Amino acid sequence: MSVYDFKVKSQKGEEVSLSEYKGKVLLIVNTATGCGFTPQYKGLEELYEKYRNQGFEILDFPCNQFFHQAPGSDEEINQFCSLRFNTQFPRFKKIDVRGDNAEPLFTYLCSQNEKKKYKAVKWNFTKFLVDKNGEVIARFEPTDKPEDFEDKIQEALK
């Protein structure tokens, strides 16, 4: 099994197969627009602009589970991110990332954590790095800033 086996909903509610991203390095992130970590959108966009032409994609999944820090509609969230941080990477429908209603993709991502320190996503801006084969190769916690793991992205792109 790999991330390519999952289907998710686009921001407009259309089904998207992650197999569309085969052969690319992915950074899958649960985000929120009203979180103390929200400024990380700037660093994420910088990484995206720098590496997208080399086969790098960021997949943004807004989540309102943590103190309701992503309260807007999918369209409002997209507008906020586009206008405030000029984000261009794909953003998907708002989801839950833990609990009974967790998006199956995130349940899978968490199960691939080799350290098993955190079995579930503990907060907004948890990031999963996926290699070109669809395998999770690293997990970065909310306190890990995008610029802190740029070297891991570069390695995965080789």
Active site residues: 35
Rounded to whole angstroms, the Cα distance separating 27 from 32 reads: 16
Rounded to whole angstroms, the Cα distance separating 142 from 54 reads: 25
Give 107-110 contacts, CB < 8 A, sequence gap 24+.
108/1, 108/3, 108/6, 109/3, 109/28, 109/136, 109/139
Rounded to whole angstroms, the Cα distance separating 105 from 53 reads: 25
Rounded to whole angstroms, the Cα distance separating 91 from 116 reads: 27
Which tokens hold the place of 118? 């955190």
Which tokens hold the place of 76? 């409002």
- Please list, in sequence order, all residues whose beta carbon lies within 8 angstroms of the beta carbon of residue 18, skipping any fewer than 6 positions away: 3, 4, 5, 6, 7, 8, 59, 105, 134
